[in-house]
Structure 1
Amino acid sequence: MLVGVLSGCGNGDSLERFDGPAMGSRYSIQYVRHSYTLAPKAVQAEVENILAEVDRQFSTYRSDSDVERFNDLPANRCQKMPAPILKLIRVAQLLSEQSEGSYDLTVEPLLNLWGFGPQAREEKVPTAQSLAEVRQRVGYQHLRIDRDQLCKDAAVEVDFNSIAAGYAVDTIAEKLEAMGIRSYLVEVTGELKAAGKKHDGSPWRIALEEPRDDQQVAERVIVVDGYGVSTSGDYRNYFEQDGRRYSHTFDARTGAPVSHTLASVTVINPSALMADGLSTLLLILGPERGWDYAEKHDIGAFFVIRTDTGFVTRTNQAFERLSGGKTE
């Protein structure tokens, strides 16, 4: 996702910006600073404290994170978890139920097997036997919450990559508002939320990428105020074997990467967390099932679909309503 260049002068308020590494990628914050708001370095410190805590809780790339300590547990064990992890488990369980198990946080063993996960060794199509063995350790139904504990009745491993960045965006946005900042654009690993207007009175404009792996090209520009925006796509992380393409987006029901023609989907939602999870869910479901799901649940969605001659787009009324209509 591309963020438009900001410019202009205003009424004495200033536009502040800072960025840095986060969650294996980058984050960036832009906000309108008033005379009564904290100094930028203080704001940045608060943001980076949040990101450090998210990493400590959710990272699958550090052995001391809460989620990795849980993943190391054998079956029929429980672990006390912080409230944010339990919150995201509840959100994910709902999405899993509504997608009939296609969306699932416990796909990490599959990601590793196919070469996409944190413990992956080689990108390749696994044997039928190894796939069958790993699928015994996949399934959201093996998780349950017992008060402040997360429990497993099989040796499942959870991966929050489909919702953790959206959660981080929401948490940062809440902190900015608590500090008196009402106009901002928060972006973490491509998930974002914008509110208010820039210091020159113009809206925050977001450019959505065309799903190409060779360069960044704006497919469409939208206006965002008070909403989270998430784009999920299969065009950056994939491998090819025997002339077939395998993406990092998995359908937990089959244990394999999706093979439909939906290249990317953008979701707008008041919650960046929900936009993050829903964009992944819709991408997994594909151009037909995903579209029906979005319409049934009134989800603002923008689909980019592969054809033999290029890409075609499809957008619903909820997306047009929430994005302020087409701007470019």
Structure 2
Amino acid sequence: MNRRIFLLVISLSIIFTGCSNNINQHNEKISDETFLLGTIVKVTLYGKNADEDNFKDIFNIISDIENKVSRNISTSEISKINSNEIQEIKLSDDTFNIIKKGLYYSNLSEGRFDITIAPLVSLWGIGTEDARVPEEQEIKEAVNKIDYKNIYLEDDKMNMHIKNDVQIDLGGIAKGYVADKVAEYIKQKHIDHALINLGGNILTVGHKPNGESWKIGVQNPFNARGKELGVATIGEKSIVTSGIYERYFEEDGKRYHHILNPFTGYPIENDLAGVTIISDYSVDGDGLSTVVFSMGLEEGYKFVENLENVDAIFVTDEKDIYLTDGTEKIFNLTDYDFKVKKFSN
């Protein structure tokens, strides 16, 4: 059996000129990075209020949330839920809010995005050394355990009730929530300009110090080295991409990527190679990137066009690019192996 495993840590490249690390005067930048959330986390701060001590606080915020919601940490709240030893649990604010947002997108997508997908994620093991194609019966058993409707939240008590053998995976939405919390901290410290990169989940605070917009490279989904296919020019926005390039393995000449279909139990197969969501909040970009990818090109395009303050860049497996109305004004193609197309009326 011929198997190759791939894991892309940084999924969006950042294009920014004049960036040297740890300069701490006026409108110059300081930056730091570490490994959290299973990826490289890099934060860049600008302005006289930015201080090296901010990074300690920021990384503590990220680590604290990770320790609550990672199913790979045995002491986390999610691990306690997934043990199936409890039917009711009082949650921390962060865990409650992430689950609540996850349930919102589970419901909005009619289950195509489902935070109870953990049994299926564990079974495939994509992104780990244990990645494999499961047996059909194993897949059926895992699919039968997936149903976000088995979770009920009590807002007034911050309690969660579960039934059946629910297992939760917040990997499709937690990074976006964390990015928003980091931005919230940065603004509280009166830092007016910042760039947050949580392994490809990009969130900006303000514009660049000189008043110009940020230029963010959009991932080429056929390249696992972070090569961009174009550049998005944005103000204070989030950019999140989901695609076939992020985590996958190959077995007997076939690629199996990590975006799983909760109904079939297999990686989603449609006409898309990647979807980039541009939104005000990263938690929405995180959830929507998976939701929209699961819909395919035409349905996903129409879906995004009906959302307020959300735009998207669709990349098909034929290297065609489709832009929603808002992205037509801000996206510039740089890799001419791709073609920008429009839907015919």
Counterpart position of 1:20? 34
Contact 1:112 1:121 in 2 (8 A): no
> For each residue in 1:185-233, what CA deviation from the matched residue of structure 2 results, as whole angstroms up to 9, or x when unmatched?
1111211211323334432211111112443322111122121110111
CA distance in 2, matches of 1:241, 1:42: 46
SS at match of 2:52: helix
SS at match of 2:209: coil
Residue deviations 1:146-176, cap 9 Å, x none? Answer: 3322121111111111111111111011100
Q: CA RMSD in A?
A: 2.2
Matches of residues 306-325 of structure 1 in structure 2 within 5 Å?
306-307=317-318, 311-320=319-328, 324-325=330-331
SS at the partner of 2:296?
helix
Q: Matched residues in 1 for 2:57 and 2:169: separation?
A: 26
- 1:1-328 pair list within 5 angstroms: 1-7=12-18, 12-34=26-48, 37-38=49-50, 40-74=51-85, 77-116=87-126, 122-146=130-154, 147-298=157-308, 299-307=310-318, 311-320=319-328, 324-326=330-332
Unaligned runs of 5+ in 2: 1-11, 335-345
TM-score (norm 2): 0.85
Give unmatched runs, 5+ long, in structure 1: none
Residues 81 and 248 (structure 1), Cα distance of their counterparts in 2 relative to 1, 3 Å cut:
same
Out of 284-293 and 138-147, give the one that drifted further.
284-293
Q: TM-score, normalised by structure 1?
A: 0.89
| Mapped partners of 1:286, 1:143: distance in 2 | 27
CA distance in 1, matches of 2:133, 2:172: 23
Mean CA deviation greater in 165-174 or 217-226? 217-226
Q: State the alpha-carbon separation in 1 of the partners of residues 52 and 45 from structure 2.
A: 13
Match of 2:7 in 1: none
Q: Distance in 2 between matches of 1:132 and 1:121?
A: 23
* Contact kept? 1:223, 1:327, Cα under 8 Å: no
- Across the two proteins, how many residue pairs are aligned to each other? 316
Do 2:89 and 2:160's aligned partners in 1 also have CA atoms closer than 8 Å?
yes
Deviations 1:120-163 (A, max 9, x none): 77433322222222222111011111332212111111111111
Structure 1 residue runs of 4 or more that deviate by more than 4 Å after TM superposition? none
Q: Is the 8 A contact 1:230 1:267 kept in 2?
A: yes
CA distance in 1, matches of 2:129, 2:249: 14
Q: How far apart are residue 244 of structure 1 and its match?
A: 3.2
- Partners of 2:263 and 2:235 lie apart in 1 by 36
CA distance in 1, matches of 2:261, 2:152: 21
Q: Letter of the aligned partner of 2:140 in structure 1?
A: A
Q: Which piece of structure 1 moves more, 214-223 or 150-159?
A: 214-223
